[in-house]
């Protein structure tokens, strides 16, 4: 396989490799990933995040499947089925309402939750999240040729939510959260996703509306978690990070 024109790598990276997805266009390299997990990657993540417009590479803290450290990143367990253009064609409100055209009735009256206050602090919040998250845990470092964090999930062919949604649908909703709540993709695991959130809900009324979106986006988060929407919503009030897990 001939390597695609992956952007030039920034200086100062640990040893790593380009990864071709298990399925995807011939010759496409979806991801650069470091060879070994390390703690204290927050500072490096922040530098790479600040340089992303110049390098064309968005950084990720990557976790692996417990007990199988090569999965999914080093094994290339990635499936590039959609493109950024496919994300562009999707509407987050339609997706969260459940109107995907697959025969299921959409949820009536469901609209998008109002934006939060403080989205202008998104970059600062992302840096703080990466610093704190990487201080007490080991991660691989990933770089994806994408302009924004939401798009990295589709560009690299992540399959974490495959039992629930196409990854392009996940990216479309995360884009909406980037704009409304100052969310930024910081960590991605085998089937988990971690976002920093600069403008979370500050009231229970707002949190309930956001919780409805989370239920549509990742029902496992609630029904295999706390099991109660009111309790889940209460946990969103003022919370500067959102994490998701798909069964």
Q: Which of 113-117, 131-135, 162-166 has the lowest mean pLDDT?
A: 162-166
Question: Is the residue at 229 inside a domain?
Answer: no
Write down the pLDDT at residue 1.
35
Question: Is the residue at 207 inside a domain?
Answer: no
Determine the Cα–Cα distance for residues 62 and 37; give it in Å rounded to an integer: 9
**Phi then psi dihedrals of residue 32, to 5 deg:** -105, 135
Averaged pLDDT for residues 41-50: 98
Is residue 171 within 8 Å of 87, Cβ to Cβ?
yes
pLDDT at 100 over 60: no
Note the pTM of the prediction, 2 decimals.
0.93
Question: Is the residue at 2 inside a domain?
Answer: no
Residue with tokens 């992303």: 52
Question: Is the residue at 109 inside a domain?
Answer: yes
Question: Is the residue at 69 inside a domain?
Answer: yes
Q: 189-229 pLDDT, tens per residue? A: 999 999 999 999 999 999 999 999 999 999 999 999 999 99
Tell me how many domains the chain contains.
Answer: 1
Question: Is the residue at 58 inside a domain?
Answer: yes
Domain assignment of residue 77, given as a range: 16-200
SS3 per-residue string spanning the chain: CCCCCCCCCCCCCCCEEEECCCECCCCCCCEEEECCCECCCHHHHHHHHHCHHHHCCEEEEECCECCECCCCCCCCCCECCCCHHHHHCCCHHHHHHCCCCCCCCCCCCCCCCCCCCCHHHHHHHHHHHHHHHCCCCCEEEEEECCCCHHHHHHHCCCCCCCCCCCHHHHHHHHHHHHHHHCEEEEEECCCEEEEEECCCCCCHHHHHHHHHHHHHHCHHHHHHHHCCHHHHHHHHCCCCEEEEECC
């Amino acid at each position: 396989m001939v390597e695609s024109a992956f952007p030039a790598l920034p200086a100062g990276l640990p040893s790593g490799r380009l990864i071709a997805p298990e399925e995807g266009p011939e010759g496409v390299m979806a991801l650069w990933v470091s060879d070994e997990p390390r703690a204290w990657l927050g500072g490096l993540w922040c530098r790479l995040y600040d340089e992303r417009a110049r390098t064309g590479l968005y950084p990720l803290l990557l976790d692996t499947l417990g007990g199988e450290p090569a999965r999914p990143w080093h094994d290339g367990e990635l499936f590039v089925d959609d493109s950024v253009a496919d994300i562009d064609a999707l509407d987050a409100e339609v997706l969260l309402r459940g109107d995907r055209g697959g025969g299921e009735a959409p949820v009536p009256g469901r609209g998008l939750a109002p934006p939060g206050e403080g989205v202008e602090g998104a970059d600062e919040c992302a840096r703080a999240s990466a610093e704190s998250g990487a201080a007490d845990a080991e991660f691989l470092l990933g770089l994806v040729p994408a302009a924004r964090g939401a798009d990295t999930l589709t560009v690299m062919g992540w399959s974490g939510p495959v039992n629930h949604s196409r990854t392009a649908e996940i990216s479309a909703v995360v884009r909406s959260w980037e704009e409304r709540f100052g969310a930024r993709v910081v960590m991605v695991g085998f089937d988990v996703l971690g976002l920093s959130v600069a403008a979370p809900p500050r009231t229970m009324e707002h949190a309930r509306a956001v919780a409805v979106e989370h239920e549509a986006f990742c029902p496992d988060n609630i029904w295999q978690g706390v099991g109660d929407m009111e309790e889940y919503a209460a946990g969103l009030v003022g919370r500067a990070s959102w994490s998701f897990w798909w069964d």
